[in-house]
Structure 1
Amino acid sequence: MVAIPRKRTANYSAAMAVMDVRNDARGWLVLWLEPLGEDRWMRPGETFRIRTDYTGDELAFSVTGWVNGDERSNGIENLTVWVEGGGFEAEVTDADGNVIECGHNRQPDRT
């Protein structure tokens, strides 16, 4: 018998800011979460959901795409999501609600 760990799921309330990010590229998409400086590496076809408990009227997120020539030649794209409203705490989950931690799928030669 194999013990299966319980999945961690998001515990934010129904009133929150939510944004999905999907990697439609053929290679890796590095999702940077700022100003926390966290990275999560997304495989082609993966979708991650970013949530905060922010309920105000200002924008909760802003998005910046950027290019690093060396990474692009290796099939790696970069997208930065800035957590703007209501503090900097955010949670990233996959399509099943499992929490995706900083460093997810990070390539061994990247730190």
Structure 2
Amino acid sequence: MARNALPVENSGTSPLCLFVEPYGEDYWLAPGEAFTVKPDGEGIDVWFSTYVSQDCIAVWLYEDGDPARVVLDHKVVDANGISLDCGHQRPRRPAGSEPI
């Protein structure tokens, strides 16, 4: 695993939301699934900041650990190295819960 990569694994029994900031992009991990968050470019020294709540992990990427230097270009890949799109495996809203 590269130093500038953050592995995230869902070892629970329910879906886990991985939120990548600052845009709030969501990627959903099924139980037992693992993703990796990393900068899209090479040669950037990225530090990760994580915030954990029930069923959700939020991740910020900072260049050189400086919170004023947010890394905007990132990618999330699955265990096979395939890049995932925002909303990957997002649960469907229950019927009747759509905004009016």
TM-score range, shorter chain: 0.7 to 0.9
TM-score, length of structure 2 as denominator length: 0.76
**Higher strand fraction: Structure 1 or Structure 2?**
2
- Measure how far apart 1:16 and its partner are: 6.5
- Structure 1 unaligned regions, length at least 5: 1-14, 68-76
Query: What letter corresponds to residue 65 of structure 1 in structure 2?
Result: V
Larger radius of gyration: 1
Percent of aligned pairs sharing the same letter: 31
Asked if residue 104 in structure 1 is aligned to residue 82 in structure 2, the reply is no
Residues matched between the structures, number: 86
RMSD of Structure 2 on Structure 1 (CA): 2.2
State which of 56, 74, 81 in structure 2 corresponds to 1:90. Answer: 74
TM-score (structure 1 length as normaliser): 0.69
Q: Which is further off, 15-24 or 38-47?
A: 15-24
Cα distance in 1 for residues equivalent to 2:3 and 2:21: 18
Q: Which 4+ stretches in 1 moved above 4 angstroms?
A: none
Q: Does 1:55 align with 2:44?
A: yes
Which amino acid letter does the alignment assign opposite residue 80 of structure 2? D
Stretches of structure 2 that go unaligned for 5 or more consecutive residues are 64-68
Q: Distance in 2 between matches of 1:83 and 1:101?
A: 18
